[in-house]
A = this chain, B = another copy of it.
């Protein structure tokens, strides 16, 4: 039986697309190319995924799982001889339980669909990131997605209670735990979360929901020095108790970029400070929380941690402040951006950034450099913009300059986007031979034939 025929017998006539039918499908977010694969199968449930995987396994075919294709590290790239398992028809929200505060979903449900579905229950699913409309919850788990509110709620790993996974030979592993605490043997889901589809295919998830916050306070503040920035983070965390939900730092050049034409954003505070922070608090009592928020900022001004501050006075202002931080698209104006997602210890950050500017000037000549990030988590997004005609030549040089010092500093080449194919050559910058050997041992134990997302990570 040929591949298409076999997969159609499993997933139905409309459940399989041929190589020819794929030729009109984009390969992913912001990508000019289309999907090139032997076939794409769209199972409707775990049982169909299992059957499709078993058939591929028994017939020596390799598999790439695809969700919303919003990843940024070529983690779901496919080769022409491989089969794509897409979760696009697995979009059922099976359960929302407001007492246990969990949701049970199929892997293809988008992040935004779940966020909107829990809202009427006065609950929230607190993972949040720009790609929410397309990114799937299965993909969020496979890549351990981060986003804007890690400081308060953690990463995707912290929101997954249970998983159903199809293993490399088609075996269904159902570990759909609904409990916050369960120490009955190894916590198997941890093996699959963040493994980028290389150890199993996540088909269903049990997710932890939270009570919907009742208050929201947002400010943009100017900070006079990096040392003040690290002290402000501690102060905000301490003075806002458990309600600090974002601490998003913008270096001056990024702040200017997103508050000057052609960007449409207006600067809430002046342009001449070295650092700016968007501080957000999600709380429980609008009046008392706002009072506490303002008191915390006042203390920071008195102790010179903040040189200027603007507190959002309306929902429109809150949105406008976040829109500045999120207006990353400005980095494509006038050149081609090379985008990084690194993390490093706070104590090393100021010197790292200073050296980065110098090393880029020496190594690649003229460029633009913007930095912003989730400082509360040590996560910086570094963007280097070059002229389009120089991009291909300069990109490896820029990568070497950005990644080079991270090993020595105890940093990471990927805070949240993952490794995929893009960062595979740099994994050894921040992982030892021993660590990579153990990753290979896990891969060999779970996928001895190497058929799941081949060639990714290591």
Contacts and interface: CB of A to CB of B under 8 A. Distances in A.
Interface of A: 97-101, 122, 143-144, 146, 150, 152, 154-155, 157-158, 167, 171-175, 177-188, 190-191, 193-195, 210-215, 230, 234, 237-243, 282-285, 288-289, 291-292, 295-296, 343-347, 374, 376-379, 410-419, 423, 427, 430-432, 434-436, 438-439, 441-442, 444-446, 457-458
A409 B154 CA distance: 28
Q: Which of A150, A172, A442 is packed against the most chain B CB atoms within 10 Å? A: A442
Contact of A445 (B183, B230, B242, B442): B442
Contacts of A146: 181, 183
A234 B101 CA distance: 9
Contacts of A98: 234
Given A99-B347, A187-B190, A377-B180, A435 B157 contact: no
Contacts of A413: 184
A174 B432 contact: yes
A172 B178 CA distance: 35
Contacts of A376: 180
B179 A186 contact: no
Contact of A379 (B158, B181, B237): B181
Contact of A99 (B152, B175, B346, B434): B346
Contacts of A436: 185
Nearest to A180: B377
Contacts of A379: 180-181
Determine which residue in A173, A178, A186 has the highest number of CB atoms from chain B within 10 A of its CB, and name it.
Answer: A186
Nearest to A146: B181
A216 to B, nearest CB: 11
A53 to B, nearest CB: 15
Contacts of A457: 185-186
A423 B175 CA distance: 19
Given A99-B347, A191-B190, A345-B100, A185 B439 contact: yes
Most B Cβ at <10 Å: residue of A172, A296, A417, A430: A430
A433 to B, nearest CB: 10
A207 to B, nearest CB: 15
Given A238-B212, A441-B446, A183 B174 contact: no
A177 B173 CA distance: 30
Contact of A179 (B174, B283, B344): B344
29 contacts: A97-B347, A99-B230, A143-B183, A144-B187, A146-B181, A173-B438, A178-B345, A178-B410, A179-B344, A179-B410, A179-B411, A180-B376, A181-B377, A181-B415, A183-B412, A183-B415, A183-B416, A184-B413, A184-B414, A184-B423, A185-B431, A186-B442, A186-B457, A211-B237, A241-B242, A241-B243, A241-B285, A288-B295, A442-B442
A120 B436 CA distance: 38
Contact of A240 (B188, B284, B374, B438): B284
Contact of A438 (B122, B188, B418): B188
A375 to B, nearest CB: 11
Contacts of A210: 237
A285 B299 CA distance: 12
A159 to B, nearest CB: 11
A401 to B, nearest CB: 18
A365 to B, nearest CB: 30
A154 B413 CA distance: 27
Contacts of A179: 343-345, 377-378, 410-412, 415
Contacts of A190: 187, 190-191, 193
Q: Which of A171, A215, A241, A414 has the most CB of B within 10 A?
A: A241
A158 B208 CA distance: 15
Contacts of A283: 241-242
